[in-house]
């Protein structure tokens, strides 16, 4: 679509911040205003709109507005009924990536060294103690741990849930996603932990260019979600 404004600005309104395009509130597809709970997020959203399309009349796409898309998702899809999103995210803990260890002893040792500290972090910070296993056969997790996971996720705002809704599926890990959400890991660190198995195999068999391309795309999505979590 074509850019129809000259100036995008963040202004304080209605107990938060919104984006004005040439003095008019930017509207979401559902009709509501684009709202941010913090000035930092509001200014970042305004910066996206100021850059999109280059100048008035320029061609732009929604790909230029990643923070706006996630913030809009929070407002229009998550906020009206957050429980569905909370439950979907919390469910990832039932098949937590960090709990499934390789049969290969060398890889298992590397997994233990890299992943155990984050399971310990989850036990300490989230009150979530998860069982581990060797192989890929599913193992049940303690009901109390699952209740703690649900509680931790439910504390997040709709914007926080929108960010976590990208982080957790992309990483395949509730624990790593929550660690990024809370600022204990960067998105880059979490991503590297999540692809530990892939990197190990590439050390043995060489680089997979298709996998490398996919990882770059995932890394970009993770970076946006992590930025949103920090700004919110």
Residue 207 has pLDDT above 80, yes or no: no
Give the containing element (helix H, strand E) for 100. strand 100-101
Distances from the Cα of 132 to the Cα of 15, 100, 153, 175, angstroms: 45, 6, 21, 13
Residue 201 has pLDDT above 80, yes or no: yes
Give the containing element (helix H, strand E) for 63. none
Q: Quick: pLDDT tens for 125-177.
A: 999 999 999 998 999 999 999 999 999 999 999 999 999 999 999 999 999 99
Instruction: Find, among 154, 153, 151, 128, the residue nearest to 141 by Cα.
Output: 128
CATH class of 8-64: alpha beta
Give CA–CA dist 231/67, Å, rounded. 10
* CATH for 82-231, options being 1.10.150.120, 1.10.3580.10, 1.10.10.10, 3.40.50.720: 1.10.3580.10
Give start-end residues of each CATH 3.30.2180.10 domain in the chain: 8-64
- Residue 149: Cβ within 10 Å count: 27
Residues 6+ apart with CB under 8 A from 72: 28, 29, 34
Mean of all residue pLDDT scores within the chain? 95
Structure confidence at residue 208 (pLDDT): 80
Give start-end residues of each CATH 1.10.3580.10 domain in the chain: 82-231
Instruction: Find, among 172, 115, 189, the residue nearest to 180 by Cα.
Output: 189
**Could you tell me how many residues make up the chain?**
232
**What is the percentage of the chain residues whose pLDDT exceeds 90?**
88
Residues 6+ apart with CB under 8 A from 68: 34, 45, 48, 49, 62
């Amino acid at each position: 679509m074509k850019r129809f404004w000259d100036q995008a600005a963040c202004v304080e309104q209605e107990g938060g911040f919104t984006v004005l395009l040439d003095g008019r509130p930017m509207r979401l597809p559902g009709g509501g205003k684009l709202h941010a709970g913090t000035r930092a997020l509001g200014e970042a959203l305004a910066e996206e709109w100021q850059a999109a399309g280059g100048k008035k009349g320029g061609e732009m796409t929604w790909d230029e507005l990643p923070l706006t898309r996630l913030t809009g998702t929070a407002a229009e899809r998550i906020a009206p009924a957050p429980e569905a999103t909370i439950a979907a995210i919390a469910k990832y803990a039932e098949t937590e990536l960090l709990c499934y260890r390789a049969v290969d002893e060398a890889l298992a040792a590397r997994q233990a060294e890299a992943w155990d500290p984050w399971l310990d972090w989850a036990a300490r910070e989230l009150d979530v103690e998860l069982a581990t296993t060797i192989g890929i056969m599913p193992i049940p997790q303690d009901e109390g741990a699952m209740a703690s996971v649900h509680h931790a996720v439910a504390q997040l705002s709709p914007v926080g849930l929108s960010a976590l809704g990208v982080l957790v599926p992309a990483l395949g890990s509730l624990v790593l996603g929550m660690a990024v959400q809370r600022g204990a890991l960067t998105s880059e660190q979490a991503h590297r932990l999540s692809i530990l198995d892939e990197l190990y195999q590439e050390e043995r068999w060489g680089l997979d260019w298709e996998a490398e391309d996919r990882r770059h795309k995932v890394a970009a999505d993770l970076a946006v979600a992590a930025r949103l979590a920090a700004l919110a």
